[in-house]
Amino acid sequence: MRFNIRLGEPLSLLKLLQQGDIDFAVIDLVLATMQAMGGSIDLYSIEPLIDEELTLISSEEYYNREIAGDHSYDTLIGKEFVSDEHDDMFLKHWFFHHFKKGNVRPNVVLTVENHQACLRCVKLGMGLTTTSSHMVWKEIAAGTIVPVTTGTPNAINTISLVELQDKVPTVTEKTFSTHIRQAMRQDSMLRRFNILPSA
């Protein structure tokens, strides 16, 4: 069996799926929903795989210098942001979820193509970004990364397996998608995403 894997934004992957260029996609459901699923949601079969917490973070140095405990809308909206999304939808989603403010314009001072590079820029004190909490737990525990919280619990983003509803999967597709489902439901993966308590 041979597999080809493409990386991309949810909207791009959904378009490829709709055109028949890929067999299925594993996507961030929140972002895809905000981008209108690339058309009608009725075209797709969506299977939730795992949930992740979306949080706003900064370096300790940036937090102490620019925020210093003031997590109000007025303070945060005026700060610098780093994003790996060209349309800054996750940042807008964070502000809407926490402050019910629509049509916000975060001051994105740097856009990078890779999420790990985005996190590196934040660690260097270049601004704030949104990320999945599990990606920075060690840094949060060490105090080098500071989560910016409000009175509202963080939003949950669901990673989902998406297929076209009317497509009949091949044996190869079934094998690979079964592997993805099993891997995402293992205890070690669930603990990584903080869905199970640590042993």
Which range among 6-10, 58-62, 192-196 has the greatest average pLDDT? 58-62
Q: What is the pTM of this model?
A: 0.78
Domains of the chain: 10-51+156-192 (no CATH), 52-155 (3.40.190.10)
| CA distance from start to end of the chain | 36
- Span 69-97, mean pLDDT? 91
Mean pLDDT of 162-175: 86
Query: What confidence tens digit (pLDDT) does each residue in 115-158 have?
Result: 899 999 999 999 999 998 888 988 998 999 999 999 999 988 88
Confidence of residue 197 (pLDDT cuts 50, 70, 90): very low
Residue 199 has pLDDT above 70, yes or no: no
The number of CA neighbours under 13 Å toward the Cβ of 148 is: 31
- What is the spatial distance between Cα 58 and Cα 44, in angstroms, rounded to a whole number? 36
Instruction: Quote the tokens at residue 162.
Output: 């998406």
Strand partners, 106: none
| Other C-beta atoms lying within 10 Å of the C-beta of residue 25 | 20
Q: Which of 130, 148, 141 is nearest to 54 (CA)?
A: 130
13 pLDDT band, cuts 50/70/90, is: confident
Across 13-34, average pLDDT: 80
pLDDT digits (tens, 9 = 90+) for 27-73: 886 655 655 544 566 788 888 888 888 899 999 999 999 999 999 99
**Residues 49 and 162: beta-carbon distance below 8 Å:** no
Percent of the chain topping pLDDT 90:
40
What's the one-letter identity of residue 20?
G
Q: Does residue 198 carry a pLDDT above 50?
A: no
Question: Tokens 């909206």 sit at which residue?
Answer: 77
